[in-house]
Chain A
Amino acid sequence: MKDEILIETRDMVKIYPMGQYQLIALDHINLSFHRGEFAGLVGPSGSGKTTLLNIIGSLDTPTSGSAMVLNHRVETLSHKNAARLRNYHIGFIFQTFNLLPVYTVYENVEFPLLLQRLSASERKKRVMQALEWVYLQDRANSRPSQLSGGESQRVAIARAVVKNPEIILADEPTANLDAENSHHILKTMENLNKELHTTFIFSTHDEKVIQYLKRKITLFDGKVVKDEKKE
């Protein structure tokens, strides 16, 4: 199970047309990710980290090459199937938390399960469990505007894990947090990785995140320049 390959990219290229020029965001990326990995894409701004994350998350498609995610070819997925893949199998954690402002903490975490049409009782069970994982069960009725940065990101984590996804993609999750909160968040995600065997892939240039990674993939100008595993 642990050796199961969940994500595999082959000669993947992503090009953005910029008027007369072309921006090569990803240049022949060949990578694979196994179940339970705690990996990160590191590199300077513009190195292609977020682009790679977006393609893995089926939010974008490669210009050429292939990206297989959970046995689905991202480049040929319809919008509907891509949405379904994200809803059931992929969780997202964003730099700016991206909580839905008019919903409570409970409702934010519940949202992906509503799209899965689960029963109310099943949703409640899972939401409360997810909030317990991030130690926010007593803030269920709060609104995002009432939360601190660290609490908001923990709600985002709960929302990402509530559906028991195989993959969680975190794009600069600590960029808007102070050091203490950053470590707290990373510890939480590390524990979830160990308990649930969820694959975590980060996009970051934050040293605080890098020190937690079990695998560090360095990108530069859209190319993989280093792929290091921590023992």
Chain B
Amino acid sequence: MVIIKLALQNLLGAGLRTWLNVIVLSFAFFAIVSLQGLLEGMNRQTAQAMIDTYYGGGQYWSKNYDPYDPLTLDESHQPLPEALKKIISAGEATPLLMLPGTIYPEGRIKPIIINGIDPWQKLLAIPSHFLQSTNGNIPALIGNRMSESTGLRQGDQVILQWRDVDGTYDAKEVDIVQVMQTSVQTVDIGQLWIPLQLLQEMAGVPDEATLVVMKSGSIDHISIEDWTFKDINFLLTDIKELVKSKSIGSTIVYLLLFFLAMLAIFDTQVLSIFRRRKEMGTLMALGMTRGEVIRLFTLEGSLHGVLAVILAAAYGIPLLSYFVRVGWTLPTQTDSYGFAIGEKLFPAFSAGLIIGTTLLVLIVTTVVSFIPTRKISKLKPTDALRGKMV
């Protein structure tokens, strides 16, 4: 306690020198927490958007389905088994049928994937209820990015071409009944959504589906022949890897900031020990051991970290709380990075992040403060009193 009191007094007595170091270190701490919070928020937002819109609580994939190989889509649908029909009728799952197709907006050819979805489903955050209209034409739903790239708007009509199970090509006009605002590019770019039953009739594959999406939050799944269950962790792998790759850049930024702050602490310690060698001699003459003097100087340095955390909390908590509440408006270019985020990013700060970063700052500051004090272990009190150093 005595050493802590002395260290704090020495630190505060140094005035502006202390506060400059503390301010720099607090900025580094704040930057680390903010960047990590943004990344974590991005991760959570993206994952949640994918779960709400497409992944649900996991998916049953038909035997030949490979999301990375659109050429296999023709073959990757099969009849729904009784077990899955039961789950679907209980409202615990919804089937999707995916077939390759082509549309001709404004005379251009655009290959797409035709998705058949139950217009009455409530599991996925796709406004499929707009497909309930039956005025004779095929109702279709597209996303906002698809609308941008094709020039199609709500109320427009476009020719849709597809191939049925016998290999025969057919075409019909579809009505764009709604342009959905979605942040999930998987259900948007190159995708057209029409009623499931209609697609099954068009393709000549009654009662068939490509995949079945389970309700979000469902934990149990049964083993079904010819259908593979993909859980949420598997489905979110790509997103996690994408976020991880983005985090490398921010890691470099905050490591750089951290390094600069630690360099400032280290320099301060070295100068402090050099300037105060006579004081160290006096402390030893008054009865402090070398070990206590080392502890005193190390503690002075590491208290920079404590003060920095307190200062960062003072301005960081209100600032970050504000952004957690109102979000961080993103530039439109963010859309091209492939993240399902939307217009605003809401950072997420976990207790683990705050505590972990705090511990990191304190530990590294202590180590950086200790390194220059090792010189003191070789210091003779008589030399120190004369102002000599090792």
Contact = CB atoms under 8 A, between A and B. Distances in A.
A125 interface: no
Given A103-B9, A107-B9, A87 B286 contact: yes
Interface in A163-198: none
Interface string A95-106: 010101111000
B242 to A, nearest CB: 52
Interface string A144-157: 00000000000000
A115 B282 contact: no
Contacts of A88: 287
Contacts of A79: 289-290
A115 B290 CA distance: 13
A60 B380 contact: yes
A136 interface: no
A83 B9 contact: no
Contacts of B279: 98, 100-101
A86 interface: yes
B286 A59 contact: no
Contact of A54 (B282, B283, B382): B382
B13 interface: yes
B63 to A, nearest CB: 77
Contacts of A23: none
Contacts of B236: none
Contacts of A103: 9, 13
A116 B14 CA distance: 26
Interface of B: 2, 5-6, 9-10, 12-14, 278-279, 281-292, 380-382, 385
30 contacts: A57-B285, A59-B285, A59-B381, A59-B382, A59-B385, A60-B381, A80-B289, A83-B284, A83-B292, A86-B284, A86-B286, A86-B287, A87-B287, A88-B287, A94-B282, A94-B385, A98-B278, A98-B285, A100-B279, A101-B13, A101-B279, A102-B12, A102-B13, A103-B13, A115-B2, A115-B286, A115-B288, A116-B287, A117-B2, A159-B286
- Return the 5 tightest CB-CB contacts between A and B, nearest first: A87-B287, A102-B13, A98-B282, A83-B289, A59-B381
